[in-house]
Structure 1
Amino acid sequence: MRHVLFSIALSLVALPSWAAQCGNRSAGFDAWKASFAQSAQRAGVGQRGLQALANAQYATGTIAADRNQKSFRYSLDKFIEIRGATTIVRQGRERKARDAAFYTALEQRFGVPAGVIIAIHGMETGFGRFMGDSSVVSAIVTLAFDCRRSEFFIPHALGALRLVDQGSITAATKGAKHGELGHTQFLPGNAITYGVDANGDGRVDFYNQADALASTANYLRQKGWRPGQPYNKGTHNYEVLKTWNAASVYQESLSIMGAQIDG
């Protein structure tokens, strides 16, 4: 947060040349959506995805959150305190012991230690207790329209619409403020690319814990994770952790908590 090749979406990084102009407030959002719908249709988005796009609302809460990302300003100690690292480690150890067979199978398949996956799960949603209260489609479409990082979010907006087409989410599905979804808060384009059907029910559901955690492990492995090697700061695998979240305090916290959970 992932099966359809992302190349179609990535080919649209230059999409603003096709679409209406981006904006920094709600004015122009509907006109942009209408233009983007034509581009999305050319990229293979179907009727359900296009309808979800048409119904998307400008997400003022998402814009406010994007302008005020506090994690980048915290020290490591402050971030660890605020995120409740001690509780995550304690509960993470309990979860690993309780579901040992699942986490062992996950590591055997993808090579990513249980501690890392559990730490991400705990950090992102408190082990699934809160997966967000914002419309995934509206949030990600708003960010694709917003001039601040439009090119980054356009492929993820296309991913969200394709997830609607596939039935993995609906137009009403709730996620985080930046459109991240499920147990480990995948961005929709990454969900399309790296999703794994771990429970074998024929669909990838990021609100199903097994699918979400397997997809997380698959994401890290595909980003270059080297099984059996350390992941503390300065290592190759630590560089892979950086691809999960841009905040350095987040990356370092994951490496610390993962090691404590596995220790």
Structure 2
Amino acid sequence: MKLIAFDADDTLWVNEPNYVNVKEKLCELLAHYVDQDVLTDRFYDAQIRNLHMYGYGAKSFILSMVETAIELTDGAITGREIQQIIDTGRKLIDFPIDVFDGIHEVLEILSKDFDLMVLTKGDLFDQESKIARSGLGHFFKHVEIVSEKNEQSYQRILDRYGVAPADFIMIGNSLKSDILPVVHIGGRAIHIPYSITWAHERVADEQLVGKSFTTLASARELLACFQKGSPVSENIN
């Protein structure tokens, strides 16, 4: 293998629960204006609608919260309440990084024998900050932060580094972003599911039919896949 790439959020460290908590705070702040189910649906619609403008990450999330609040209250929300929403959202920008158990050990061992990359999507400043705060940056030879993870973006990155898809492995928690695009271009992928998946990242079971990738229960199981003396192609299938 010439390159092993890791997703960041919910693969290296906890991320989605922080967004869930902030969304719950938004529901509390607007409870006297609108039903929670209605707010949840409209907020999700706003997030998806705004992806092509703001991308992924904390800033996009905050802007979508404010936009949803204004729309659902027909402009009746006060400036003080909007400030509360912004202050709540700011917690997503500097929350403590909770690295998953076993990640330090796995990266320390793999980085001795392989070139490692962080390959994540989202806001550049936000993702760079999380990588720095995680204390994991020194394990990675390369960092790539993209606006979207699809077949085209993966292929561009591999072309830039002169790596053939067959010599590349992507490790991540999202079937939609980390696994299927890589499989489609001829690369290999390892899925490490996380307990919470954003609705936008979920895929239907039929999309997985005929797709070959490995699923592990935790990052610690990665070491068995990359044992010295054992061809990776025999362990990843």
Identify the structure with the greater strand proportion: 2
Q: What is the TM-score with the length of structure 2 in the denominator? A: 0.26
Q: Which has the larger radius of gyration?
A: 2
Identify the structure with the greater helix proportion: 1
Q: What is the TM-score with the length of structure 1 in the denominator? A: 0.24
